[in-house]
Structure 1
Amino acid sequence: MVNDKVLGIILGGGQGSRLYPLTKDRSKPAVPIAGKYRLVDIPISNCINSDIKRMYVLTQFNSASLNKHITNTYHFSFFSSAFVDVLAAEQTINSDQWFQGTADAVRQSMHHFLQNDFEYALILSGDQLYQMDFNDMINKHRESGAEISIATYPVNAKDATSFGLLKTNDEDVITSFIEKPGEELLPNWTSDVGENMKAQGRDYLASMGIYIFNRELLIKLMDNPDTNDFGKEIIPQAIENHKTLSYQYEGYWEDIGNIDSFFEANLGLTDDVPEFNLYDAKSVYTRARVLPTSKFAGSILNKAVIGDGCIIHAEKIERCVIGIRSRIGKNSLISNTYMMGNDYYETLEEVAKNKIDIMMGIGDRCYIHNCIIDKNCRIGDDVRINGGTHIENVETDTYMVKDGIVVIKKDATIPKGTIIG
C-alpha cells in the first residue's frame, strides 16, 4: 500500500496570538472545538481515514495539554507501526533556537523523521477545519511524477490577499507563486478554477498549507538553513527547478486563524446541513470518555449541538454548541454561544465541603449571547452577557471582548449579577 510510504507531519503553529485568550494556556492544536474535540483531531483523523497512521505533531508553545490529549487518545495495536508523537522544539547540537517558521520546524525535527522508512512527507497545518481523503492527492502526485504537490483552494478577491496564490499550466503544474499579494497585484493572479468556482467569484488559487514532498527533495531543501518558511521561501524557490503540482480542493475548508473564524466555524455546526459534516461515515476521532447521556428539564432547544454528560435546566438554548459536562441553571437564555464544557464534575459534597458559592457552568436566570465560554468557567446567577458590535474590544482578568465576541477565559469566575455589554 502506497500510504505505508507516507509520513504525516502536522505543524502546530506559533504562539497562536490571534486565537488569544483561547491559547493563553494551550497550543493552537489543543484548542477545544465542537464541544468534544480538539483542533489537532482534524488533521489526525483525516490522516487515519486516508490510511496514513504514522504522524508527528510539531509544537513549541504550551504543549503540555496537547501532549496529554494525544497520549490519552491515539492508541494503536502493539504489533502496529502506527503512532502519533508530539515533537516540541528542543535544543540540539545543530540548533539551540525555537522554531523560526514552518520550514525551520521541519528542519529541526528531520532527525526524528529520518528514523522512519518513507517516500513521501505529507505536511499539514494543525489549525484548519476540513475533511479530505488524501489518497487522491497522493495518487496524483505519484502518477504525475511531481516532486512537490500543494493542495489549493479557490478563493475570492477579499480573501486572496491573506493567502499564498499560484498559477498553473494546463497540466496543473505550478508555474508561479506569490505570498499574500497586495490588492493591486490581484488582476494578474486569476486562475482557471472551473465554471462552478467562477460563478461564486472564487477566481484565485490559494495554497491551503498542505504539501506532499518526495523524501529526497525534502532532505535537500532542508539543508539550506536560510529558508525558514514554506510559503514565503521554500515553495517560491522550489517551483523553478522542481515539478510542483496543484491539487485543487473544493470542499469545505476553514483556516481557524482568529476568534471570529473560530466562533463562526463552531456555530456553523448547528446548521441543518452543516458545511463541516460530523455526521458522516468518515469519523473525526478524539479521546474516548465514559460519560453519561445529557439530561434536560424544561428546556427549549433550537439548532443546538450538545455534548455528553450535560445537566441542563435552561429555559432556551438557540444556535449553541454546548460542550461535555456542561451545567446550565433554570430560566437561563443562551444564544449564539460556544460553551466548551468542563474537564471534570463537581460533586455536591465538594461544593458543600469547599463552600463553593458559584458552581462550574452557568447559573440561574442568566442571559448569554454572542459568547465563547472556555473550559471550567463559573458564571453566577443573574449574569447578563450581551456580545455584539456595540461593545468595544477590551480585556480583563476574567474575559476579553474581541470583534463583538465575549470570550470568558478558562477557569474564570463571573460574579452573580455581572453585566457585560
Structure 2
Amino acid sequence: MPTLKDVLAIIMGGGKGVRLHPLTAFRAKPAIPIAGKYRLIDIPISNCINSGIARISVLTQFNSVSLNRHVSRTYRFDSFHSGYVEILAAEQTTGSNDWYEGTADAVRKQLLQIQSASPSDVLILAGDHLYRMDYSKMVEYHWANDADITVGVIPINGEEVDRFGVLKRGDDGRIISFCEKPKTPAAQSAMVSYPDRNCCYLGSMGIYIFRAGILATILNDNPDFDDFGKDIIPYAVGNLSVFSYEFDGYWRDIGTIRSFYDTNLELTRHDAAFSFYDPQGPIYTHARFLPGSILEDTNLQDVLLGEGCLIKHASISHSVVGIRSQIGRNCVITDSIMMGADYYDSPNHHQPIGIGENCYIQGAIIDKNVSIGPGSVIKSFPRGINDDFGTWAVQDGIVVIPKNTVIPAGTVIEPGMTAKQLGLPG
C-alpha cells in the first residue's frame, strides 16, 4: 500500500493570464500578490505541506521570473528532509521545440522528470485558487476506491456553470458524465446533480489525482490531448475508473480581475469565510523582516493591513493595504487593493513610491511599486466597462494601475470623463 511519501504534487504555473491583465503583464498568475503579503502560489504549496505531501513540482512558463524567485527563496527544506519544492520550467529539447500547449501538454513535456521521482500517484493542482484543503483525505479516498483518477469537485450555482467542467456521478461516487463549460440550457440542465439546491451542479476544482502509470499511458497514447478538462477527463470517464471527491469548504477561483478584487475585499471583514491563519493549516510565504506598521492619526475600518507600512492622517475602509505601503496625509481610500512595494526607495526620487497626500481612491487595484502623485482622484467605473489606457486600465469597472507605474500629481480618473481627458483619440 502506498503512503503520502509516494505521492508527487504537480502545481500548474498557468498560461498567459489574459483575464487577469494587467496584473499578469510582468508576472505569472500564481505570483500575483494576495491579502497584503502572500502570493497565490503559497496556497497549493502550503496545502501540500500541511497535508503531508512534501514532494512538490511547480511547472512554469510565462513571465515566470518572479514566481521562480519566490518559490526558490521561500520553500527550502533542510538536508535531513526527503521533501522538496522544485521548479520545472518549460524548455526546448532535442525531442520537442514547442512550449507548453495546455495543462496536460505541460505535464507530458515534463513526464521524464516526473517518472524519475517514481511516484505511485500524481496530484495535479492549479496555482490560482484560494482555499484550504487536506489533500491526504482525497488521496485516501482515491486509494479506498481503487480509482484510476479522482477529480476534486465542489457544488456551484447556475450562474457559474458555464465557467467550469461539470459532472454527474453515480451513487458510488463514480463519474458517469462530464461536460466542459456547458453553454446551452439543454447541456446545463442535463448536468444538474442537486435539483433541490441553489448550488445544484458539481464543478471540477481543477484538482486531479492520477495513478502515475495511468497518467503516463494517457499522455503517451494521446499526443493530441493538451488539456485535462477539455481532453483527458472526458476521455477517461468513458474508459477508466474515475471518481469524484466532493469538497465542502471555502474555495474561490481567482481567474479574473473581478474575482481577484472581490475575493481580496472579502478578506477584510472580521467574519470573513477564509482566514490565512489556522494553527492546523497555516498558509506560508516568504519571510520578510519588516517592522510593524506605523499609523499616525489614521482611521481604519475593515482593513487588511500588511507590515512595514507608514500611513499619516488617512481614512481607509474596506481595503487591503499591502506590505511597505506609504500613504500621505489626508488621503481617503475605500473599496480598494493596494499591493504595496518591493522596496522603500523610489527609483526616480522626484515622486516617492506610494500614494501622495490629498488623494481620493475608490474601487481600484494599485499594483506594487506604484507612485500616485498628490491630489489625484481615482474612482471606479460602472461594471462591464473594459478598456486599456496604457498607464492604467479598467477591467469590469475596476481601475487597475499596473506595477511600477508613475501617476502624475493631480491626475483624475473617473467615469464621465471626455475622450481627451482619458487619453483617447478623437
Query: What TM-score results when the alignment is normalised by the length of structure 2?
Result: 0.94
Question: Which of 251, 254, 259 in structure 2 is aligned with 1:253?
Answer: 251
Aligned to 2:20: 19
Q: What percent of counterpart residues are identical?
A: 47
Contact conserved, 1:294 with 1:311, CA < 8 A, in 2? yes
Q: Which moved more, 1:78-87 or 1:294-303?
A: 78-87
Q: Distance in 2 between matches of 1:129 and 1:271?
A: 16
Q: Distance in 1 between matches of 2:107 and 2:23?
A: 25
Aligned to 1:155: 156
Residue 280 of structure 1: SS of its match in structure 2? Answer: coil
Cα deviation digits, residues 246-276 of structure 1 (max 9, x gap): 0011211111111000011111110122122
Aligned to 2:358: 365
Aligned to 1:414: 407
Aligned to 2:174: 173
Q: Distance in 2 between matches of 1:94 and 1:168?
A: 39
- How far 1:393 sits from its partner (Å)? 2.9
**Aligned AA (2:202):** L
- How far 1:314 sits from its partner (Å)? 4.0
The yes-or-no answer on 1:191 pairing with 2:179 is: no
- How far 1:300 sits from its partner (Å)? 0.5
Q: Distance in 2 between matches of 1:216 and 1:159?
A: 34
Q: Which moved more, 1:289-298 or 1:391-400?
A: 391-400
- How far 1:117 sits from its partner (Å)? 2.6
Alignment: residue pair count: 410
Distance 1:295 1:170, change over 3 A: same
The yes-or-no answer on 1:63 pairing with 2:67 is: no
Aligned to 2:88: 87
Residue 30 of structure 2: SS of its match in structure 1? Answer: helix
Residue 397 of structure 1: SS of its match in structure 2? Answer: coil
Cα deviation digits, residues 357-394 of structure 1 (max 9, x gap): 21100010110000000000101111100113189433
Contact conserved, 1:337 with 1:369, CA < 8 A, in 2? yes
Q: Distance in 2 between matches of 1:118 and 1:107?
A: 15
The yes-or-no answer on 1:106 pairing with 2:107 is: yes
Aligned to 1:330: 329
Task: Flag structure 2 segments of 5+ consecutive residues without an equivalent.
Answer: 415-426
Question: Which of 360, 367, 379 in structure 2 is aligned with 1:386?
Answer: 379
Residue 159 of structure 2: SS of its match in structure 1? Answer: helix
Distance 1:369 1:391, change over 3 A: farther
Contact conserved, 2:165 with 2:178, CA < 8 A, in 1? yes
Q: Distance in 2 between matches of 1:38 and 1:27?
A: 11
Contact conserved, 1:343 with 1:376, CA < 8 A, in 2? yes
Contact conserved, 1:155 with 1:203, CA < 8 A, in 2? yes
Q: Which moved more, 1:371-380 or 1:83-92?
A: 83-92
Contact conserved, 1:40 with 1:126, CA < 8 A, in 2? yes
Q: Distance in 1 between matches of 2:66 and 2:348?
A: 29
Q: Distance in 2 between matches of 1:181 and 1:402?
A: 25
Aligned to 2:242: 244
Aligned to 1:3: 4
Aligned to 2:316: 317
Aligned to 1:263: 261
Q: Which moved more, 1:178-187 or 1:400-409?
A: 178-187
The yes-or-no answer on 1:275 pairing with 2:276 is: no
The yes-or-no answer on 1:213 pairing with 2:210 is: yes
Contact conserved, 2:383 with 2:396, CA < 8 A, in 1? no
Q: Distance in 1 between matches of 2:199 and 2:53?
A: 31
Contact conserved, 2:330 with 2:357, CA < 8 A, in 1? yes
Q: Distance in 2 between matches of 1:137 and 1:130?
A: 15
CA RMSD of aligned residues (A): 1.4
Runs of 4+ off more than 4 Å: none
Aligned to 2:389: 396
**Aligned AA (2:264):** N
- How far 1:216 sits from its partner (Å)? 0.9
Residue 292 of structure 2: SS of its match in structure 1? Answer: coil
Residue 163 of structure 2: SS of its match in structure 1? Answer: coil
Distance 1:278 1:335, change over 3 A: same
Contact conserved, 2:371 with 2:405, CA < 8 A, in 1? yes
**Aligned AA (2:314):** E
Aligned to 1:48: 49
- How far 1:239 sits from its partner (Å)? 1.5
Contact conserved, 1:314 with 1:333, CA < 8 A, in 2? no
**Aligned AA (1:277):** S
Residue 368 of structure 1: SS of its match in structure 2? Answer: strand
Residue 135 of structure 1: SS of its match in structure 2? Answer: helix
Aligned to 2:39: 38
